[in-house]
Amino acid sequence: MKSFIGSVDFFKGNDPEEIAKKYGTPLYVYNEDIVRDRMLRVAGVIRKYPYRANYSCKTNTNLEILKIANSVGVNADAMSEGEMRMLLRAGFSPDRIFYVPNNVSSEEMQFAIDNNIMTSLDSLDQLDRFARLCPGGRCAVRINPGVGAGHHEKVVTAGKKTKFGIAEEDIDGIFETAKKYDLKIVGINQHVGSQYMDPKPFLEAVDNLLRIAMRFNKLEFIDFGGGYGIPYHKLDDEAEYDMEAFSREFTKKLDVFVREYGCAPLFKSEPGRYCVAEGGVLLGRVHALKQNSGVKYVGTDVGMNVLVRPSMYDSWHDIEVISEGKVVERVNGRMEKVTVCGNICESGDVLCRDREMPKIKDEDLICVLDAGAYGYSMCSSYNSRPRPAEVLICSDGSVRLIRRRETYDDMFALYEGC
Ligand SMILES: Cc1ncc(COP(=O)(O)O)c(C=O)c1O
């Protein structure tokens, strides 16, 4: 693919240079149509049985993105009190929120209890804490199905080497705690990992969870977690995750289970990245070009504080170059090998190393693709750099600021009253 932003008309006819000048850089830009489309895809994965997709909002909690999710009709999961509060503020009713925390305080659990938000406990210890706060209550438990998957060991969230979930051998402990406090375990959930393009590990984990589900009586729901991958190498024509093939295989497994279990509980999944990654790009400005020991460095304002994935997970993001409002074509013979980095005082502050890119000039824009997931939500003000702004290209083509840039006054405000 020559250009993703060109092929999908990401900016809907707006000039990215004008957007960058008006709102400044670095700047997250989202395309409403793409976000809606991906959310609708995940909402339709299972059609034969009662099914709900929960948008895993840790990926992107911008209020406008949450409002889009709400209007599409997907449910949502939250990992923290902050995420629950954001979802409530975006208009999600408590019964559409699933709280999946780990290692949290009684105060945080109490917030979910007070707001009637279904909670999943991910250790026997946390289950006991919940039971003491809410004897006779209803909750779910997170199972560690013993297999994990993902693009990096830091995103594998099941299997023998992670902190998440209750291991199969500890399931009797769940029943003991439930009995002791008259708790009703109404659901089980899992999440095996993130960014898998091959559905095999996920389907294996489905088998495991369904086998484990047979040990629970009258479950109201079974939640299989998220993890569906997106093609981060789209400029090299990487194929999309085959949602239809996945849906067929997934449904076959549910067929077998429903026959044996005698009824179909509500089935759920928890996709995050798939919903929003491709609907977001990150615009940054080139401020320096230099050679160091034979390496050509392109210095930009997209530091690791703005997008941490490349330095945290060695993640690949395709990058397009925009010069005077036009995407610079990737043409053989007119490319050069460069290392693109940010403005943070860390040697790991690198977006990509030794990558063939179209020739870049000072003051050009870089457009980092697939930045809608785990982008802004993981950014920080490291080096005392204010967090970036976010804008939405709405379905009608208008451009709307959906979170202003952090200011130095915002930073100083935290010291007021100290
Ligand atoms: C419990 C849980 N559910 C869902 C997700 C969403 O995963 P993804 O963005 O890969 O779909 C995560 C991400 O780590 C998670 O921890």
pLDDT tens digits for 296-346? 999 999 999 999 999 999 999 999 999 999 999 888 888 999 999 999 999
Same domain for 302 and 257, yes or no, is no
Same domain for 243 and 392, yes or no, is no
- Nearest-CA residue for atom 1 of ligand 1: 191
Is the pLDDT at 213 greater than 90? The verdict is yes
Q: What is the pLDDT of residue 311?
A: 96
**Which alpha helices (DSSP H) does 115-185 contain, by range?**
124-133, 171-181
Same domain for 193 and 214, yes or no, is yes
Q: What is the pLDDT of residue 331?
A: 87
Same domain for 266 and 283, yes or no, is no
Decide whether any atom of ligand 1 lies within 6 Å of the 145 Cβ: no
Query: Which string of DSSP letters, residue by residue, matches 219-285?
Result: -SEEE----B---TTGGGTPPPP-HHHHHHHHHHHHHHHHHHHSS--EEEE---HHHHSTTEEEEEE
Decide whether any atom of ligand 1 lies within 6 Å of the 194 Cβ: yes
Same domain for 115 and 173, yes or no, is yes
Same domain for 132 and 163, yes or no, is yes
Same domain for 199 and 297, yes or no, is no
Residue 36 lies in a domain: no
Question: How many domains does the structure of the chain reveal?
Answer: 2
Q: DSSP assignment, residue 164?
A: -
pLDDT tens digits for 179-193? 999 999 999 999 988
| Range(s) of the domain holding residue 168 | 44-274
Question: 82 C-alpha to center of ligand 1: Å?
Answer: 16
- The pLDDT confidence band at residue 376, using thresholds 50, 70 and 90, is very high
Same domain for 157 and 246, yes or no, is yes
CA-to-CA distance for 246 and 244, rounded, in angstroms?
A: 5
CA-to-CA distance for 329 and 270, rounded, in angstroms?
A: 37
Query: Once rounded to an integer, what is the mean pLDDT over residues 237-255?
Result: 97
- Nearest-CA residue for atom 16 of ligand 1: 191
Question: 9 C-alpha to center of ligand 1: Å?
Answer: 29
Decide whether any atom of ligand 1 lies within 6 Å of the 157 Cβ: yes
Q: Domain end: 274, 297, 323, which one?
A: 274
Q: What is the pLDDT of residue 154?
A: 62
Give the mutation target among 156, 270, 313, 377 for probing the ligand 1 site: most ligand atoms within 8 A of CB: 270
Decide whether any atom of ligand 1 lies within 6 Å of the 56 Cβ: yes
Q: What is the pLDDT of residue 26?
A: 98
Q: What is the CATH number of the domain that holds 337?
A: 2.40.37.10
Residue 35 lies in a domain: no
Same domain for 63 and 196, yes or no, is yes
Task: Kindly report the pTM of this predicted structure.
Answer: 0.96
**Phi, psi dihedral angles at 222 (to 5 degrees):** -130, 125
Q: Which atom of ligand 1 is nearest to the CA of 228?
A: 11
Q: What is the pLDDT of residue 292?
A: 95
Residue 123 lies in a domain: yes
pLDDT tens digits for 17-29? 999 999 999 999 9
Least-confidence region, from 4-8, 192-196, 359-363: 192-196
Same domain for 290 and 260, yes or no, is no
Same domain for 88 and 102, yes or no, is yes
**Of 57, 345, 367, 379, catalytic:** 345
> Is residue 263 annotated as a catalytic residue, yes or no?
no
Q: Domain end: 274, 303, 319, which one?
A: 274
CB within 8 Å of 156: residues ≥ 6 apart: 148, 149, 150, 162, 192, 193, 194
Residue 316 lies in a domain: yes
CA-to-CA distance for 282 and 277, rounded, in angstroms?
A: 11
Query: Once rounded to an integer, what is the mean pLDDT over residues 156-170?
Result: 78
Decide whether any atom of ligand 1 lies within 6 Å of the 223 Cβ: no
- The pLDDT confidence band at residue 223, using thresholds 50, 70 and 90, is very high
Q: How many percent of the chain have pLDDT more than 90?
A: 90
Residue 32 lies in a domain: no
Residue 73 lies in a domain: yes
Residue 418 lies in a domain: no
Same domain for 79 and 106, yes or no, is yes
Residue 329 lies in a domain: yes
- The pLDDT confidence band at residue 408, using thresholds 50, 70 and 90, is very high
Q: Domain end: 211, 245, 274, which one?
A: 274
Question: 223 C-alpha to center of ligand 1: Å?
Answer: 12
Query: Once rounded to an integer, what is the mean pLDDT over residues 365-372?
Result: 98
Q: What is the pLDDT of residue 18?
A: 98
Q: What is the pLDDT of residue 163?
A: 81
CB within 8 Å of 283: residues ≥ 6 apart: 16, 19, 20, 25, 26, 27, 29, 322, 365, 366, 367, 368
Q: What is the CATH number of the domain that holds 234?
A: 3.20.20.10
Chain-wide mean pLDDT for the chain? 95
